[in-house]
Structure 1
Amino acid sequence: MRLLLLALLAKEPAHGYELKQELEQTFGSAYPSPNIGQIYVTLGRLEKDGLVRAVDVEQSNRPNKKVYHLTAAGRDALVTWAAEPTEGPRVRDEFFMKLVLAPMTGIADRMALISRQRRHYLGLMRDLNDLADRVDPGNHVELLLIEGAMLHLQADLDWLQRCQEDLR
């Protein structure tokens, strides 16, 4: 959330509710809508860390609002983030840990775990397909986000099949 807010503030100063709206408009319904409280808490931390500064703006019929501006340190943090590669595959996969530990501990049957996980992934895939059907075809950002999630799910489903074959 921190870096998303910094990126939006690099575009222009804004207050918390404007940032929430911008996130929702940019990423659409495929991206979980952030809680406004989480946004303001994060902005407070960014301000404390010197990455943004808040300016009180007077309003005539409402309480003053805080408009946040990106600082030079915030821009540096954003540039560093953009330049760094994003983490790759998960080596510490929680499902795989369950799968490996199940026979040692007797907590679950491996094939039952695989079947349950497969059903879960297929349900998520159906949800993403439904979501894709409701997206405005002109919203390329949201469609790419959904497509990326679907491709990751398909890879996870393929991997589950491999696990099932190897662990029989």
Structure 2
Amino acid sequence: MRLPLLALLAKEPAHGYELKQTLENLLGAAYPQPNIGQIYVTLGRLEKAGLIEGQDISQSARPNKRIYQLTPAGRETVAAWFEEPTDEPRVRDEFFMKLALAPTPGDQIALINNQRRHYLNTMRDLSKLAATEDRDNHVAQLLIEGAMLHLQADLDWLERCQEELE
């Protein structure tokens, strides 16, 4: 949550609830909805770390709101995040560990079949979500498509595992 909030604040100053709404609108229903409490806790930590600074703004008939903006150190942190490649591939995989440690070949095949069913159900759910998601929200559509492509690759890999074990 830390770096996505900094990236949003790199675009413009905002308060916590605006950041939550922006994330929800940008990522759509396919991405877990951010918890407003987590956002405010993270903003407090970022401010203590000197990456953002907040300013209280008076509002009539409402409590003050705190608007946050990046500090120079925060801008450097965001720039470094965007420049750094994301770690891939997943070498430490819990399913593979289960597969490797399953007591018998029959148990391994059962694990593969169970995982395959899970991936296919997830793929079906994502397809439904893609059909209901706002077509103009290209970021959310790309997120769903990327998840589906990863699932397809995982399904192909399960097929390869099963071929090798049989």
Compute the displacement of 1:136 (Å). Answer: 2.2
The aligned counterpart of 1:38 is 38
Matched residue type, 2:156 = D
Distance 2:37 2:121 in 1: 30
- CA positional deviation for 1:60: 1.4
Shift of 1:142: 1.1
Unaligned runs of 5+ in 1: none
| Map of 2:150 onto structure 1 | 152
Gaps of 5+ in 2: none
Q: CA RMSD for the aligned pairs? A: 1.2
Letter in 2 for 1:146: I
Q: Which has the higher contact order (CA 8 A, sep 6+)?
A: 2
Matches within 5 A, 1:18-167: 18-103=18-103, 109-167=107-165
Find the residue that maps to 1:54 and give its secondary structure. Answer: strand
Q: 1:11, CA displacement in angstroms?
A: 0.8
Deviation digits for residues 63-104 of structure 1 (CA, Å, limit 9, x no counterpart): 11111111100000000010111111100001000110112x
Helix, strand or coil at the partner of 1:43: helix
Q: TM-score, normalised by structure 1?
A: 0.94
The code of the aligned residue for 1:50 comes to G
CA deviation map 1:127-150 (0-9, x unaligned): 100001112222211111110000
Residue 125 of structure 1 aligns with an amino acid whose one-letter code is M
| Partner amino acid, structure 1, of 2:53 | R
Q: Which amino acid aligns with 1:56?
A: D
One-letter amino acid of the structure 2 residue matched with residue 133 of structure 1? A
The SS at the match of 1:91 is coil
CA distance in 2, matches of 1:139, 1:57: 31
Give aligned pairs, total: 165
Which letter maps to 1:80? A
SS at match of 2:28: helix
Separation of aligned partners in 1, 2:138 and 2:27: 9
